[in-house]
Each structure stands twice: as structure tokens, then as C-alpha cells.
Amino acid sequence: MRMRPTSRSDEASGTPEGSSVSLMGLFDEGTRTAEAIDALLAAGIAPEQMVVMSGVPYPEQALGRRREWLALPYIVLAGAASGFLFGLFLSVVTPHLYRLDVGGHPAVGFPPAAIIVFVFTMMATIVSTFLGVLWEMNFPRFGPAPYHKLVTDGNLALMLECSPSREGEVRQILQAHNAHHIGEPERMTL
């Protein structure tokens, strides 16, 4: 990874001079990362300015971070409801629109309708789960984004934004907790 000089000019990252600086440090394992995060929080960096990237999911509380509110369950519920209604429409309404009598059964019977409604509800549930999670993650996103390939080799990348005046302090904290590859994050095409 390229190491950028610690100058204050941010023409590479495109932000106007003097507003904020992005830094990233790689850690070998989770405990040190959590301690580093605690130290940074104590130093006054807001939690929203920090992002942790890892190749392995760490449980939420392990790194001392808060859980984010997700719209996903509501998307799924809405999807399931729409699937339910569509199934109802297909099995209960359309046989009356295209009326044909078969086998001594009424046009709409409970068992076939129940099966169709159930299957369409489940189909809509899973499709809306998938599309909902993609939407919430803003996927697919192929443009340049701050990242480092070593993340998938077991390192945790702590990325944060701070004002340029605090950059030195932040670097110190990161080094104190054995981070390596400290520097401006490379915006890789993903």
C-alpha cells in the first residue's frame, strides 16, 4: 500500500484543505482494535467517523460499537405482505375472471388457494430479503472506495476521519496499539 506524506494538502482525496483527513490503520487482531477504538473515543473522535473493515465478522459488541437500525425487517414484512396479496389475487380473484368449472370443485377452494397464497408469500419474502439487503448496503457499488486488500487476509482496517489538527494524536494512538500500514486509505476500485 502506498504511504502518503503527512502533509496537510488533500488534493489526492479531493477534500478542501483544512477540513478533515482520512486515516487508516491495519490491526492484526480484534482486541487491540477494540482498545484502539476506545482510546480514540476517549480522545474525542466521534463514533460515526470511524469505520472498521474486516474479513471476518466480529460480534457487534466486541469492538465496542453500536448496532445500527436496519430497515431490512420492514422491507421483508412489506414484501411478504405484497406476496400474500398477489397470491390471494391469483388464487381467489382470477378464477372468477376466467371462469371454468372443473371436477365438481368450486372455482375457488380453500386448499389450492392456501397453497398458492403460501408459496407466493414465501417467494416474495425471500426476494424482498435479498433485494432489501442489497438496497440497504447500496450494492452493487463498483466505484473507488477506501479499502485495503489485507483485510481479507485477516487484518482489521480501522478507518477514520479527523480534523487535520488531530492527525498527529490519532497516529500516535494507532501506533501505540500496534497498527501497521498507517496512512491515508487508498481508494481502490472494488
Partner 1 sequence: MSETLPTAEAQYDERVLLAKRKDSEINQAVLQPMMQTGRGFWGLVAALSAIVAWGVFAWGYLIYWGIGVTGKNRPVYWTLFITTFVFWIGISHAGTMISAVLRLLKADWRRPITRGAEAMTAFALMMAGLYPLIHLGRVWKFYWMIPYPNNRFMWPNFQSPLMWDLVAISTYLIGSTLYLYLALIPDMAMARDHTDGLRYRLYRMLALGWRGTEAEWHKLHRALGIFSVAIIPIFLSVHSIVSWDFAVTVQPRWHSTIFAPYFVVGAIYSGLAALATILVIVRRGMRLQEFLRSEHFDSLGKIVMVAGMFWTYFWFAGFLVEWYGNEPVIRELIRQEVSGRLAPLFYLQMTANLVPIVLLAFRRIRTTPAALLGATLLVNVGMYTERLLIVIGSLQRNDIPFNWGTYRTTWVEVSIVAMTFAGFVLLYTLFSRVVPYVPVWEIKEGRLRYTMRRIGRLLVPTAAEIE
Partner 2 sequence: MPDVKASAERTPRWAMAVDLDRCTGCQACLVACHAENNVPVAGEKLAGYGRWMHWIIIDRYWEGEFPNVRARFMPVMCQQCGEAPCEPVCPVFATYHNPEGLNAQVYNRCIGTRFCGNACPYKVRTFNWFRPEFPEPLTEQLNPDVTVRSRGIMEKCTFCLQRIRAVEMEARAAGRRPADGEIQPACVQTCPPEALVFGDLNDPESRVSQLARSHRSFRLLDELGAEPAVIYLKGGETNV
**Residues between 29 and 58 that touch partner 2 (CB under 8 A):** none
H/E segment holding residue 128: helix 110-136
Counting contacts by CB under 8 A, is residue 73 touching partner 1?
Answer: yes
* Lookup: cell for 109: 377452494
State how far the Cα of 157 lies from the Cα of 155, in Å rounded to an integer. 6
| Interacting span for partner 2 (CB under 8 A) from 50-58, 101-109, 134-142, 156-164 | 101-109
User: CB under 8 Å to 28, separation ≥6 — which residues?
Assistant: 154, 155, 156, 178, 180
Least Å distance, CB 62 to partner 1, is 8
SS3 189: strand
Question: From the list 57, 102, 140, 189, which residue makes contact with partner 2 (rule: CB under 8 A)?
Answer: 102
Counting DSSP H helices and E strands in the chain, the numbers are: 5, 6
* Site residues (vs partner 1, CB under 8 A): 30, 51-60, 63, 65, 67-68, 70, 72-73, 76, 90-91, 94-95, 97-98, 100, 102-103, 105, 109, 112-113, 115-116, 118-120, 122-123, 125-127, 129-130, 132-134, 136-137, 139-143, 145, 147, 149, 151-154, 157, 190
